Amino acid sequence: MPHIAVELWCRQVSEFQAAMAGDNGEEDGSARQALVGDNSQIVISERGWMKPEFGRLKLNTDAAWQKETRIGGVGWVLRDFAGLPKMVGGTGGGYFLSSDMAEAAAIRQGMQMCVLRGLLDSGEILEVESDSKGLVQMLNKEIQADVLLEIYLVDIWNLMQSFQSVKFIFTPRQCNRAAHMVAAYVLKHGGSYGWDELGPQFLFNILAEDANVSIRI
């Protein structure tokens, strides 16, 4: 059944392309933007996850962290302009001093996997979305970095050199459901996971809903 759903979804890519070709680029009220400092911009969606523009890939990241044990799981989902996942993965069982540290680890791991798999070799722009507003502001150098996160931030800034362009964007939790589901899964089961194409079956319906595709399994 999942492979049939994949075929149906892929057939709808042409519909996405046609819809995008007819888009005049005007704001439709589905999102609002807030400037944070001089060089960064926080985009806040009011309707849910939004597909990136053609020629861009969007990496959503999230972490699930237990305060009592300080054990966490990090998850990430990379999708293209049609909402089709290019890669999904995460790692559970890591030890983090704070939820922000786990969130930073999620961004770092997601970007590392993009580099390792060579998924942006063709020059696409990478958009990285996280529901950790403070972390996004630190990455955009709009607020002072937490010294406890410095090693993660430096690694992420260094990883940026591997891409043509990287944008760090804050997104509300309701727009980050796919990455949250992966983080919760790997925290529960432990270990490292990686999925290609449409990702794990437990995530399919959320991915389809985010992409405005009616197919469900």
pLDDT grade, residue 32 (50/70/90)? very low
The closest of 119, 109, 123 to 183, measured between CA atoms, is 109
Quick check: 121 pLDDT over 80? Answer: no
Cα–Cα distance, 200 to 28 (Å, whole number): 32
Tens-place pLDDT, residues 93-113: 999 999 999 999 999 999 999
The closest of 208, 105, 197, 209 to 156, measured between CA atoms, is 105
Cα–Cα distance, 138 to 150 (Å, whole number): 10
| Alpha-carbon Rg for the chain in angstroms | 17
Tens-place pLDDT, residues 142-165: 999 999 999 999 999 999 999 989
Enter the pTM of the model. 0.81
Q: Between these two residues, 77 and 44, which has the higher pLDDT value?
A: 77
pLDDT grade, residue 10 (50/70/90)? low
Name the DSSP letter for residue 124: P
Percentage of the chain beyond pLDDT 90 is: 67
Could you give phi then psi for residue 130, rounded to 5 degrees?
-140, 150
Q: Between these two residues, 187 and 123, which has the higher pLDDT value?
A: 187
The closest of 92, 133, 127, 135 to 111, measured between CA atoms, is 127
Quick check: 70 pLDDT over 90? Answer: yes
Low-confidence winner among 16-20, 54-58, 113-117, 206-210 (lowest mean pLDDT)? 16-20
Domains contained in the chain, CATH given: 2-210 (3.30.420.10)
